[in-house]
Amino acid sequence: MIDDGSDLPRPTSGLTMFHEAVAAGSGRPLIRYFDGVLTMRDVDRHSDALAHHLIGQGFSSGDRLAILTQNSPAFVIALVAAWKAGGIAVPLNPMNTRRETAFALVDTGARALVCLDELYAAGAQSVIADGDTDVRTVVLTSIGDWAAKTDPAPGSLPALPWSGPVRGADPGRDDPALLLYTSGTTGVPKAAVVTHGNLTAGAELFRRWTTIGSDDEILGITPLFHVTGIVGHVALALRVGAPLILAHRFDPPVLVRALREHRPAFVIGVISAIVALAEEADGPDDFRSVKWLATGGAPVSADTAARVAERTGTELSIVYGLTETTSPAIATPVGRLGPIDRESGALSIGMPVAATRCRILDDSGEPVGPGVIGEVEIAGPQVSPGYWQDGSIVGGPGDGALRTGDIGFRDTDGWVFLIDRRKDMITTAGYKVWPREVEEVLYRHPAIAEAAVVGVPDDTRGEVVSAFIAFESGATATVTDIEEFAAAQLAAYKRPRSITVLPALPKTATGKVLRRRLRG
């Protein structure tokens, strides 16, 4: 039965959600970070101290606070402090180059920055020294802050004194809570405006989908600057009052030790991260506490999902969403994979989550019926109203319809399948080829660990299919083996005209393959 979300709580604000979590249990742990633990009260006080400091430095309502850290307590504290000070948080990718950091600070007009000291020294400091940004306040943090009982550096985030609660107006549901940059896999990143209503709706949709409660713990393996990290880790932890386990950055041995020590119930990450955890672990016993093992952010092949289930003893669930949908939009039932499309080999990404509508549209924007391929459209309370200083992307704040650019179809039972991104379609000698179909075939070869297919210009055919692959460790296959394998399963026009073997495919920080880099 489809959940229409008719009893979904009215979206409020991220700050209200935080205050409710504190009121429900101020002494409960909110963050576990190596040997350190921060309670709800600890995060409340540290975010008060930072908000007071920002306001004292001239930060005012509507100003932007950039956050440039790894997965640490500083990120959560800065996020809440931005809201307490009446501002908007701007999470930045710690893998950004100096140029990319400068672009984001200028683009958002950030007035303040909370920054990991090593990232500040590596580039952010010189960006601000150039004088091209509006940043006037910088607060530093380090990897060791809150990891154990140590004295903080003077002037750093943990050293800011608490002088009482911040007394300010609670943001409204339509006020911006975050500016989240899209992953930039195909061009210049844009910052999606995530309202407080979007954020709290996304957290509630995750809660309802998982049925997670305050006694369950969340393992934070996704970068917190990413929409899944923000919603599926931080916001979900605040929504249910559950502890969030952080480990600075993605390190499989460290995170497997966290699995054994803390026994989390919920793990969600890009499929490459899930596979890395599964391969690092000793087997299903390491995952015995995990009730919900989920992946999103990148395509998943049926063979990969099967390997994960075998290694972990837990069926993989799939969550589909975008930065512009504040993460969850479509998902498979917990602990259950969807069907596989016989023609393309694609694994279903599930059905719409509560209060969410999914339609498949033709080129004229009209809905199509089951089995017909078209563009996926999403509408619901989690959909962003638009991009920062770049106009609306939907019909209205939080409840308009987003045309995703993803191509797929629904079957007669309502299962949704993705075929590919519209912009990635290859036209060769007049034939249309969806890279995803070719990739699904390549993934069936036991020697292939990663595969990506792109179109490259060709004087005769317009474009030809080109494949890039990475072999499993110890694989002995050759390019000729792969060519013969593909030829047996693909029509001639779909077969890769070239196959390039790489040590690993280039990816974003969240595991999406950078197709533009493969195209050259």
Structure confidence by residue, pLDDT tens digits, 310-325: 999 999 999 999 999 9
The mean of the pLDDT values for the chain is: 91
Least confident stretch, 15-29, 117-131, 343-357: 343-357
In DSSP terms, which residues pair with 294 in a beta bridge? 268, 317
Domain 197-382+396-419 CATH class label:
alpha beta
- pLDDT range class, residue 4, cuts 50, 70, 90: low
Per-residue pLDDT, 398: 43
CA dihedral 304, 307, 311, 316 (to 10 degrees): 50
Whether residue 433 has pLDDT greater than 90: no
Structure confidence by residue, pLDDT tens digits, 479-510: 999 999 999 888 788 899 999 999 999 987 66
**HSE-CB for 111 with a 13 A CA cutoff:** 17
Say what percent of the chain tops pLDDT 70. Answer: 94
Structure tokens at 53: 């400091």
- Please give the full DSSP string across 209-220, using - where no structure is assigned: HH---TTS-EE-
Per-residue pLDDT, 186: 43
- pLDDT range class, residue 270, cuts 50, 70, 90: confident
Give mean pLDDT, residues 253-274: 95
What does the alpha-carbon distance between residue 366 and residue 387 come to, in Å, rounded to a whole number? 25
What does the alpha-carbon distance between residue 363 and residue 432 come to, in Å, rounded to a whole number? 15
Give mean pLDDT, residues 120-131: 96
Single-letter amino acid code for the residue at 212: I
- pLDDT range class, residue 9, cuts 50, 70, 90: confident
Whether residue 396 has pLDDT greater than 50: no
Q: Locate the domains of the chain by residue range.
A: 197-382+396-419, 425-519
Angle formed by the axes of helices 40-56 and 73-84, to 10°?
60
pLDDT higher at 110 or 103: 110
Structure tokens at 497: 């005209």
Domain 425-519 CATH class label:
alpha beta
Per-residue pLDDT, 101: 92
pLDDT higher at 270 or 7: 270
Question: What DSSP character marks residue 179?
Answer: E
Structure confidence by residue, pLDDT tens digits, 45-68: 999 999 999 999 999 999 999 999
Give mean pLDDT, residues 283-291: 97
What does the alpha-carbon distance between residue 416 and residue 418 come to, in Å, rounded to a whole number? 7
What does the alpha-carbon distance between residue 361 and residue 339 come to, in Å, rounded to a whole number? 22
- pLDDT range class, residue 511, cuts 50, 70, 90: confident
Q: Is there a contact between 33 and 246 (Cβ–Cβ < 8 Å)?
A: yes
